[in-house]
């Protein structure tokens, strides 16, 4: 009997402590609790957005490919644990397999040095204020303007995550051999529609691909879903049985322009991936591809809306989020 009373009183004591803790939590969290809004840093670090912009500009002018890298990096960040800069974390003894080492990211993901440079300037100016997740979202926005004259406001106020797991990257990032059903499902899991998937795929009008991402379409025979002339020229740039993995532009016509040429390439079967061709395999997505080839302004507007939406996937705005001191390591 006595032991039952003891257990009950221990239980009650625990409950009291747990409640007290809960009351304390909002106080310690308040400092870190944010909400996404356009111009979040205006009052906290007035020049935050212009510092990111000037940094991105200086790197992308020298190497437009880095702009493509930043747009892709933002996508790969947002699809794994939300837009929380988890993709930026380096391997450590405690966490030897972060996202950036996963097959879809390594060694193809690029632009990390741009984020590092912006972060270093921001830490000097406004220590501990601007999150790496926001820097990446702003950098992708600025790259879209430089490469595509696509200009938009993006809400900020994201916090940085403390977890990065390569298996999660592998499970959440769509590979280039996915068919339409699989692509649509992959985007739906992140709250994005088939139409938004088609719109965001337009980013394949810039940057490059490693041969290994599409050689299964070249050998032993050129995939019948690929333009055979195009396939023959790709074979020359991506020979079989070599140890080094070459790269080719995504868009051979306007390689450094974020424009609707991608959709023209999809139609002429001269886009690199099976996943690009797959956009032609339903009436609706096929029609959307065709519309974009004729209405570049519509593509621009849809791209803006889809990027803002992608940038809000599962964002961290409170505990356990933090503002990292350096984007490669948790605090």
Select the residue interacting with ligand HEM from 203, 266, 271, 289 (CB under 6 A).
Answer: 203
Site string for ligand NAG, 181-200 (x = CB under 6 A): xx------------------
Enumerate residues 174-193 that contact ligand HEM by CB under 6 A.
174-176, 178, 183
Select the residue interacting with ligand NAG from 168, 223, 290, 314 (CB under 6 A).
Answer: 168
Cα gap 48→42, rounded to integer Å: 8
Burial (0-12, 13-18, 19+ Cβ within 10 Å), 45:
middle
Cα gap 178→191, rounded to integer Å: 18
Which residue number is nearest to ligand HEM in terms of Cβ? 207
Select the residue interacting with ligand HEM from 81, 158, 204, 217 (CB under 6 A).
Answer: 204
- Residue 6: both structure tokens together: 């003891």
Choose the contact partner of 98 out of ligand HEM, ligand NAG, none; CB within 5 to 8 A by kind.
none
Cα gap 263→253, rounded to integer Å: 12
Q: Does 275 bind ligand HEM (CB under 6 A)?
A: yes
Choose the contact partner of 227 out of ligand NAG, ligand HEM, none; CB within 5 to 8 A by kind.
ligand NAG
Choose the contact partner of 270 out of ligand NAG, ligand HEM, none; CB within 5 to 8 A by kind.
ligand NAG
Site string for ligand HEM, 88-117 (x = CB under 6 A): --------------------x-x-------
- The smaller minimum CB distance to ligand NAG, of residues 41 and 214, is found at 214
**Is the bond preceding residue 107 a cis peptide, omega within 30 degrees?**
yes
Piece of the chain touching ligand NAG by CB under 6 A; list 103-111, 113-121, 223-231, 318-326: 223-231
Enumerate residues 236-255 that contact ligand NAG by CB under 6 A.
240-241
Choose the contact partner of 241 out of ligand NAG, ligand HEM, none; CB within 5 to 8 A by kind.
ligand NAG
- Tell me 326's DSSP state: B
Cα gap 80→170, rounded to integer Å: 9
- Residue 292: both structure tokens together: 């974009």
Residues with Cβ within 8 Å of residue 237, at least 6 apart in sequence: 211, 246, 248
**How crowded is residue 27: how many other Cβ atoms within 10 Å of its Cβ?**
8
- Residue 89: both structure tokens together: 């974390």
- From 194, 185, 181, 203, select the one nearest 76 (Cα to Cα): 203
Count of residues touching ligand NAG (by CB under 6 A): 15
- The smaller minimum CB distance to ligand HEM, of residues 71 and 130, is found at 71
Q: Does 64 bind ligand HEM (CB under 6 A)?
A: no
Report, in Å, the least distance between residue 16 CB and ligand NAG.
Answer: 33
Cα gap 205→256, rounded to integer Å: 8
Whether residue 321 contacts residue 83, with contact meaning beta carbons closer than 8 Å, is answered with no
Whether residue 154 contacts residue 83, with contact meaning beta carbons closer than 8 Å, is answered with no
Catalytic residues: 76
Binding residues (CB under 6 A) for ligand HEM: these are 65, 68-69, 71-72, 75, 108, 110, 174-176, 178, 183, 197, 200-201, 203-204, 206-210, 213, 250, 273, 275
């Amino acid at each position: 009997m006595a032991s039952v009373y003891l257990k009950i009183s221990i239980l009650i004591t625990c409950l009291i402590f747990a409640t007290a803790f809960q009351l304390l939590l909002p106080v310690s969290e308040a400092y870190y609790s944010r909400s996404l809004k356009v111009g979040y840093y205006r009052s906290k670090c007035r020049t935050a957005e212009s510092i990111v912009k000037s940094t991105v500009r200086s790197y992308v002018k020298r190497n437009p490919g880095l702009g493509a890298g930043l747009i892709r990096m933002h996508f790969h960040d947002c699809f794994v644990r939300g837009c929380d800069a988890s993709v930026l974390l380096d391997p450590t003894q405690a966490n030897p397999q972060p996202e950036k080492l996963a097959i879809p990211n390594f060694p193809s993901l690029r632009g990390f040095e741009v984020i590092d440079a912006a972060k270093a300037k921001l830490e000097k100016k406004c220590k501990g204020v601007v999150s790496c997740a926001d820097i990446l979202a702003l950098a992708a926005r600025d790259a879209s303007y430089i490469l595509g004259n696509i200009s938009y406001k993006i809400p900020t106020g994201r916090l940085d995550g403390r977890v990065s797991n390569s298996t999660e990257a592998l499970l959440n990032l769509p590979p280039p051999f996915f068919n339409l059903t699989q692509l649509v499902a992959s985007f739906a899991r992140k709250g994005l529609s088939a139409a938004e998937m088609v719109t965001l795929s337009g980013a394949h009008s810039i940057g490059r691909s490693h041969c290994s991402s599409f050689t299964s379409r070249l050998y032993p025979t050129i995939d019948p879903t690929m333009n055979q002339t195009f396939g023959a020229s790709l074979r020359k740039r991506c020979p079989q049985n070599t140890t080094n993995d070459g790269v080719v532009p995504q868009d051979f016509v306007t390689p450094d322009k974020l424009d609707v040429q991608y959709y023209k390439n999809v139609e002429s079967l001269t886009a690199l991936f099976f996943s690009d061709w797959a956009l032609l395999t339903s009436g609706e997505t096929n029609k959307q591809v065709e519309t974009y080839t004729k209405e570049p302004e519509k593509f621009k507007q849809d791209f803006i809306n889809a990027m803002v939406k992608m940038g809000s996937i599962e964002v961290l705005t409170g505990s356990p989020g933090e503002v990292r001191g350096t984007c490669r390591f948790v605090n």
